[in-house]
Structure formats: structure tokens, C-alpha cells
Structure 1
Amino acid sequence: MDATDEVYDVIVAGTGAAGLAAALTAIDTARELATGDLSVLVVDRAPRDHAGGNSFWSTAGFRMPDTTRVNDRFVESFAAVGVTAPDYVARLAADAPAALQWLAGKGVRFRPPRIFLTSDDPRISPEGQGAEIVTALRRELERHTSGVFYERDGQSHAAGVEIRYATEATDLVRDDDGTVVGMTLRGPDGEVRSVRATAVVLATGGFEGNPEMMRRHVGYVVPTICRGGSYNTGAGITMALAAGARRTGRWDNFHPLPADPRSAGGDRGLLTFAAIMETVPYSIMLNRKAARFMDEGVTTMDLLYDEVGRAVQAQPEQIAYAVFDAKTAGLPQWREAVSRDLLDEPYSAATIGELAAQLGIDPEAARETVAAYNAAAPDGGARFDAMRPDGLRTAPGLTPAKSNWAQRVDTAPFYAFPVTCANVFTMGGIGTSPAAEVVTEAGDPIPGLYAAGEMTGLYQAKYVGATSYLRSLVFGRIAGRNAATRALGLG
């Protein structure tokens, strides 16, 4: 070891939910075991006011009816979309209640999600969504920079924490036998330093913020749903692969989400998406040629956002318009539902032709498309039920059909949200064990290396809604506990 090297017991890269959970649990573990001192270095490539990754901006839904249990069919929901990691999913289900109760002990308050389109698979979320979790955990971690002290049998010990923002992890340091013994870091001054550690936890997110990796693996670039995602460059994935980590998940896939392109850029941080998804089922979707291109009511919200995002991505200029009328705007709770993240009001006009002109699409073509849809929509307005798939579908012959919520768009004023496809996270990543150890192609743990969160591959064809944040917390805590135990010489 070079005399100029810095030395810590544990290094955690990333300050999203997974990284913060890992760092705080490492400290908790040291205090609980009280067998020695522990030094923890936490780094994030973003400046402090942009740190937190996707976690800060997430709605942070959890596939649980309360903090004590996961939903019925929780495990089966993963198998249904092609996830073949039964031990990992079983560990996630088993540890989820403890993770949320851990959050509750840190002041995070939970409530049922305010969703418009109901589901028989209930969710809870924190009062302040992902920002509340990141803020609460970061606040506690920063308090710990003054030291955490504990003792056993008359022997005093301490856990010391240092946090470095605007500091990029560039590579892993390994011994000759492949054991991970530290990282190289590039600080805000541009200097690269080697930092030694007994255990390293990677929690640096996916590669949605890396255009080159997106083109290579997915085939095209999709804007990140939030500012945090732009810092997810795949660096942690790349360095783990170089250390022999197994590739897992679906590398040519990502979690798409329909979003309002007007909400991108500046200091907004998050694209409007809840307002879009609370509206699309009751709308008709028109592309730039004023043509419908998908079944807007094909399924429930859990899968519809995936269908909409991918369908819009395939349209000219990757944009479409959710066109609806005064009946939808007048639905009970619609305004409350869309206001959760609404930044720009929908376009509005007295006629479909005037609305189309505002959108920059052909008014006559828009009128013809809406007229054809209205002619195929049923008269049964009394059967319309906004709160669940109602089976109100268009008559045979309309292509594409609409399977649910097929109300006519005929009541002025008329409205439209522009819709594009945004990238929440990528699905390709590295393999880990249920103990959050990074594993090789043969399934063997890479000594000293742990990982959690979006950089660990799991999902295949589709995302299992309201599980990403949950697994970040669960396996972040597992990684932190095992990293601390290793550093203290107990594991």
C-alpha cells in the first residue's frame, strides 16, 4: 500500500436510497456489535444540491398495504414478467417490512398513495415521496460526521463518517487474488486518489445518463425522467464488470414512463408524468400525423405506463398528444390526481380543430380521427367507471380498438397533454447474491464487493411496479450490514 493512500474501513459510492441505507446500516451495525472502530467514506459524483439520484425524485411507491407486510402475490408478480431470481425475491419480500419500519423510526411517514385509477394491488408511499426519504437519511448521515460513539465491556469505540460530493468513483482497487481493497476517486479538483478499504458498496445507479451506453445496449437515447438520472452513467456497473461481475437483467431494456416534454430542463428536476398517466386512460392518443396508434385502455395502470411509453417512443419525433374533453376534466378527483406533479396546464380550445392547430398537427386530420373514434364509442355513459377497467370498449372495426373507458370525446372545451417517453432506469446490471455480494458468472462472491439498487440487474421484459425503491432500501441495508461485519473482522 502506498504511503499516500487514504484508508477507510468501508466505502459507499452513491447517495440515493441504496447508498444512504448502506452507509447508515454500516454505522448501525458497528454500534450494535461494538467490537471495534469503523470508518466510512461516502462519495457521490453529483454536487450536494443535485445528489440523491433517481431516489430523490421518485414517487417511492411500495408494493405493500402497510409497513408490516408485502402484498399478496408479491413473489408471483416477479415471475409473471420473467424474473428468475427466486432467492433474491424471497429475501426482498422477507426483509421489506423491517426496511420500512426502519424508515419510520427515522421520521418518515407513510400514507396510501393518492392514485386515480385503482388497483387490487395496494401501495403505500411516504408523505413527501422519495425526497422525504433521501432528506431524512442524508440528514442523519450528515449528523454522524461528528462521530458515533459506543462501548462494550468498558471498551469505547467510534464510527467516523466522511461524505464527499462532486467526487466520482473511477475504478476498483484489487489485490492479486481479485479481492476488492478500495477505489480510485476523482475529486472536484480533478485529481485521482487511491482510497483503501476492507469493503466497498456500489450504489451508483444504472446507465440511463450515459448516451453511449444507451446507444450500445438499448439502441437509442431516451431522456431521463429526472435530473438525478442524468448522473447515472453506468460507472459502477462498468468497474464491477471489469472486476469479473456477472451481467444480469435485460440490457437492451429500460423502464419507460410517459411524460410531458414541456417539463424538461432548467431547475425543474422532474418531468411531469403522474398527470399524464392519470389522464391517458380516459383520452385518445394522437401522433404528429393526427392518427391514433394504440389502445389507450388496454390494461391497468401498472402496465399501461409501460405500453404508453414504448408506443410513444415509436411515433414520429417520439411525441404524441393525449386528447380529452370536459367530461374527463370534470371527473371527481381528476384535478387532485393530476396536480401531484403538474407543472404545465394542458392545451385547451373550444373545438378539436383549434386544439390541433395549437399542437401543430393537421386540424382536418384530427377532426376525422376524433369523429371516427366517437362513431365507434358506445352510448353507455352510465357504465363508465373511471376507478377500474370498465369494459367500455369501441365497436368492432375501429383500429386500434379501445378496450376500456371508451367515452366519446365530444364535450367542449377540449384539452391535450403532449407526451414523450422518458427513461426511469435501465434494466441491465450486475449480479448479486441475496447477501448483496457482487457475484461472478459462476455465482461466486467477489470478496470485499457489495452492490445494491438500480445498478443490480433484475427486471426482464417489464418492471414490477413499486419494487425498485423497495429493493434499493432492502439490499442497501443488507450490503451495509455485511460490509461493516467484514470490516470489523466478523464475516
Structure 2
Amino acid sequence: MADDVFDLVVAGCGVAGLSAAVSAAEAGGRVVVVERAPREERGGQSRYTEAYLRMKSESEVTDDFETHLAENGALPYAEPALAMELARPARDRAGHARALSSVDPDVVGEFAAQAGPTIAWLKGMGVRFDFLPTQFLTKSQPRLLPVGGGAALVEALAARAEQLGVAFRYETSAQRLAVDEDGRVTGLVVRRAGRAQTLRGAVVLACGGFEGNPEMLSRYMGPRSVFLRPICKGGHFNRGEGIQMALEIGAAGGGDFGSYHAEPVDPRSSIAEPSVFIFPYGILVNKDGRRFTDEAPGTVDATYESVTRRIFEQRDGIAWVVLDARHQAIPNYRLGLRTDQPPIASDSIGGLARAIGLPEAALARTVAEYNAACVAGEWKPLQLDGLATQGLDPRKSNWAVPIAEPPFHAYPIISANVFTFGGVKIDQQARVLDGGGDPIPGLYAAGEIVGTYYGTYTGATSVLKGLVFGRIAGADALARRNDA
């Protein structure tokens, strides 16, 4: 067999691409993985994530899993008749209706059904899972984690792929899809060291979103996207070519192209995911020294994204959380601080304002108004305590206690772009759909490139989505290799 002919060509070496490669290789396929990064940085964003999984056990997703995904995958303001049509099972719907929805209910159902078997599959490769402490001091849903995080998943899958003889082409970029006269995808045109080559075979696009592409960010999200930065250096490799090349051959778009998964991070830090989740215990102020949002509308795991989006809306996309000494009495409070930078500290609010460059009088007035709106009650930092401000706009719904005990601390916060929401649509077999809702022969997608979310993210589903549909894509591609 020629060196450029394979049963499956996989673009991307994160957990989605590696799952596809291993699954296909286990079925006896000849597989190649194309990765833009060098070998030592393989894994994309998967390598740097904690890899939270929205599961209540190793075999079961959470009770709200399908409902939450369906709600976040619904088209905003859809006409009632269309919404009813989109909610019907795929087998009963016209193809155009499938193409108009973001996420097919049957795809969500398959996602939920295959999560447990996928975890069992990974355990067979030596990956261990546990309900470990998270950075969320309060949470509404359990999070299963792989011991060792995303890096452990990448290394286990890559080792299995190498054991099965999967070929890897590092420092190689995917350029475009090769398509025959019947519309079947027959391979992937790649470029390495300035030279192009066509790798023949069915294709799985698992090369992420476009958080590393300033042009696409500006086009879809507008000029304020300059205030965003990828959550980790792996995001810089995600430049959206997989989405573009699929759309160019008629793939249906899915997900919210104008939005992204937001996470609060410290802009002073250069480490991966320098998150700051301590803000519910203080107040958030913008560059004018004013509050602008409810810092604690619910548990931090369920509300941090909406709060972070409000931070992104502020002037220059930045805010500061102002805390007093009370937050240091919270058990394990440092779990909510992933940043490697120390707090900015002062024994007075005026001194803190000067240290962080905010208007001193404005910050003093904001703190005084907030303190006056706090009422007596029992402060319960590790559960929703309903201790809310009275007569303050915007209100603070929980953990509202005066900022009065020095030393006072502040952390700057900006919104990181964990991943973009816009991508392509797939069916239950991870086949990419065209604008009419029909599968494009020979083309699959898995991971962030699959457009799933609108408005906000269903927490702890992204890594799991990549693992599940990567595994499905590899197996299905091999099962259909003789259909060409």
C-alpha cells in the first residue's frame, strides 16, 4: 500500500482525534494522525485541561445531562412550529429540519448512552478516574476526573495508538479536503515544510475551534474579540481550518459562531488556565471602580460563565475582584485560585485603589454602598446561604458580607476563550451533515469542531464529547471502508 493511502486520516491530536485513531486502529484500520504541533506539544488544549466529566459515576452521566445539552443547543427565538419540528426524533423529521437545529436530540441521546462505555474503554488503557477536589468551592453537579487530567488521557491514547501502529505526522497542517465527483471525501491535503501532500482515506476532523485565529474571531465575534485570549497555549494551534474546509464543501454549520466558552483568568499570568474562581466572596468592579453584576447568583460551577461574560463586556474587558480578610477563612479557599500571581494587597481600600489604578473615591463609594446594603445573617461560604444585599443594584444574591476586615486583596480578571462554539453538525455516527441534513460520505468530526452550544456552555461536557464521538467516528469509518 502506498505511503499516502490510509483507511482513516485524522486531523488533530487531542483526545477527540486520538480516540478516533485508536478506535479505527483497533478495528484493523491503517490510520494516520496529522498534528500541527511538534510531538512534545501534541494534544492541543486537551493536554492542559483538568478534563472535568459531567458524570455521577463511571457509567452514568448526571441526571440533567440531556436536558441541559438540549437547552443549550436550541436555536434562540425559534418559531414555535419549527421548535416542535426540531424536537421530534431524527427518523421522523425532514432533512432540512435536522440541519436547522444545533444539536439533534438523538445525537444527545447517543452521547449520553456512550459516555459510560467510553470511560470503560479508557480504563482498559490504564486511565484511572475519581471524584477529586475541583477548583469549584461550591458546585451543583458532580465532576468525574481522570487522574492526571487531560494530559493523562492524551498520553494513554497516544501510547495505545502507537502500539497499534498509527502513523503520526507532526508539524503538519491540514489545508483542504479532497472530494471526488460524487461528493465523497477521499482524503486530506496537508502541508509540511512548505510542501503539500494528499493523504488518501476517509477523514475525521478533530482539529478544534478557531480560538487561535484572530481573523475568524473578529469576523464572528466582532472587534472586542481582541480582549480575549486562549485559555492555554494549546488554543493557539486551533485556527479553524477544519471548520472552513468542511463549510467549503457544503457542511452544515452548528452552534453559536458568535460565542465561546468563557472562564475567568488572571491576565498577569502566563501559565495554562490561571483561573480565579474566588470572586463570589467579594465584589467585582470595573475600571471606573463600580460594580456591574451579581457576583454570586448561584453555585460558582453553574454561574461563572455568565459572570465572566459580564466582565468581558466592561471597558477593556477587565475587572477586579475586591476581597477582605474573611475569604482566607474559607476552607481550602486556594482551590479557587489557579493563578500563580499573588493578590494585590493593602491595609485600606484607598491604598488598594491606588495599587490597582482605580479611581480612589469611586471605589471607596462602591465599597461603602455595598457594605451598607449587607444585612445580618449566617455566612455559609461552602453552600448557597441566601445572604443577599438589600436595596442595592445590582444585588448580590449570596455570601453578601461587608468588605471591612484588612488586609484587602484584589485580583484582576479577564475572560479567557476556552473554545469557540461554532462548528459543524454531525449525526449519531459522528458523520458530518450537509445543508440538507444528509451525511457527507467519508467525512467525520469530533471534539470542539462539532457545533453544540448556544449562549452558554454545558459544563464538563466538552472533553467527554470529544472522547465519545471520536471513538464513534473511528469505528464507523472502518465499518464503512468498503462502501466507497
TM-score by length of 1: 0.89
Paired amino acid for 1:259: V
Please list the CA deviations of residues 436-486 of structure 1 after superposition, one character each: whole Å capped at 9, or x if unmatched: 001111111111111111101111121111111111100000001011222
Please list the CA deviations of residues 160-199 of structure 1 after superposition, one character each: whole Å capped at 9, or x if unmatched: x210111001011111111111111101x210112211x1
Provide the residue aligned with 2:114 in structure 1. Answer: 95
370, 373, 379: which one aligns with 2:370 = 373
Paired amino acid for 1:304: T
Please list the CA deviations of residues 29-78 of structure 1 after superposition, one character each: whole Å capped at 9, or x if unmatched: 22xxxxxxx32111111122222112111121111122111111211112
Residue correspondence of structure 1 range 165-204 to structure 2 within 5 A: 165-187=170-192, 189-197=193-201, 199-204=202-207
Q: Is the Cα–Cα contact under 8 Å of residues 269 and 341 in structure 2 kept in the other structure?
A: yes
Is 2:301 aligned against 1:302? yes
189, 194, 207: which one aligns with 2:210 = 207
| In 2, Cα distance between equivalents of 1:414 and 1:293 | 20
Provide the residue aligned with 1:441 in structure 2. Answer: 435
Provide the residue aligned with 2:259 in structure 1. Answer: 253
Q: Is the Cα–Cα contact under 8 Å of residues 5 and 193 in structure 1 kept in the other structure?
A: no
Aligned sequence identity (%): 44
Provide the residue aligned with 1:134 in structure 2. Answer: 154
Paired amino acid for 1:343: D
Provide the residue aligned with 1:473 in structure 2. Answer: 467
Q: Is the Cα–Cα contact under 8 Å of residues 306 and 456 in structure 2 kept in the other structure?
A: no
Paired amino acid for 1:395: Q
| In 2, Cα distance between equivalents of 1:113 and 1:460 | 29
Provide the residue aligned with 1:24 in structure 2. Answer: 22
RMSD: 1.7
Q: Is the Cα–Cα contact under 8 Å of residues 10 and 200 in structure 1 kept in the other structure?
A: yes
| In 2, Cα distance between equivalents of 1:447 and 1:54 | 28
| In 2, Cα distance between equivalents of 1:436 and 1:99 | 15
What displacement does 1:139 show? Answer: 2.4
Unaligned runs of 5+ in 2: 75-102
Residue correspondence of structure 1 range 394-433 to structure 2 within 5 A: 394-396=389-391, 398-433=392-427
Is 2:64 aligned against 1:73? yes
What displacement does 1:92 show? Answer: 0.5
What displacement does 1:363 show? Answer: 2.2
Provide the residue aligned with 2:237 in structure 1. Answer: 231
SS of the residue corresponding to residue 41 of structure 1 reads strand
Residue correspondence of structure 1 range 195-344 to structure 2 within 5 A: 195-197=199-201, 199-220=202-223, 221=225, 222-264=228-270, 268=271, 270-273=272-275, 276-277=276-277, 279-335=278-334, 337-338=335-336, 341-344=338-341
Quick one: structure 1 residues 316 and 474, their matched pair in 2 at CA, closer, same or farther if it must change by over 3 Å? same
List 4+ stretches of structure 1 deviating above 4 A: none
Provide the residue aligned with 1:484 in structure 2. Answer: 478
Provide the residue aligned with 2:55 in structure 1. Answer: 64
SS of the residue corresponding to residue 330 of structure 2 reads coil
Greater shift, 406-415 or 363-372, is seen at 363-372
| In 1, Cα distance between equivalents of 2:264 and 2:140 | 23
SS of the residue corresponding to residue 284 of structure 2 reads strand
Is 2:383 aligned against 1:388? yes
Paired residues in the alignment total: 452
Is 2:165 aligned against 1:163? no
Q: Is the Cα–Cα contact under 8 Å of residues 5 and 196 in structure 1 kept in the other structure?
A: no
Q: Is the Cα–Cα contact under 8 Å of residues 73 and 452 in structure 2 kept in the other structure?
A: no
Unaligned runs of 5+ in 1: 31-37, 146-160
What displacement does 1:417 show? Answer: 0.9
Q: Is the Cα–Cα contact under 8 Å of residues 61 and 113 in structure 1 kept in the other structure?
A: no
What displacement does 1:331 show? Answer: 1.1
| In 2, Cα distance between equivalents of 1:238 and 1:289 | 40
Please list the CA deviations of residues 201-229 of structure 1 after superposition, one character each: whole Å capped at 9, or x if unmatched: 11010011111111111113221111111
| In 2, Cα distance between equivalents of 1:345 and 1:136 | 35
Paired amino acid for 1:288: K
Provide the residue aligned with 1:13 in structure 2. Answer: 11
Greater shift, 296-305 or 419-428, is seen at 296-305
What displacement does 1:4 show? Answer: 8.9
Please list the CA deviations of residues 229-254 of structure 1 after superposition, one character each: whole Å capped at 9, or x if unmatched: 11111100111111211111111111
TM-score by length of 2: 0.90
| In 2, Cα distance between equivalents of 1:263 and 1:135 | 26
Q: Is the Cα–Cα contact under 8 Å of residues 21 and 480 in structure 1 kept in the other structure?
A: yes
What displacement does 1:359 show? Answer: 0.7
| In 1, Cα distance between equivalents of 2:198 and 2:345 | 57
Quick one: structure 1 residues 134 and 437, their matched pair in 2 at CA, closer, same or farther if it must change by over 3 Å? same
Provide the residue aligned with 2:355 in structure 1. Answer: 358
What displacement does 1:118 show? Answer: 3.1
102, 111, 117: which one aligns with 2:137 = 117
Provide the residue aligned with 1:148 in structure 2. Answer: none
What displacement does 1:5 show? Answer: 8.0
Paired amino acid for 1:47: P
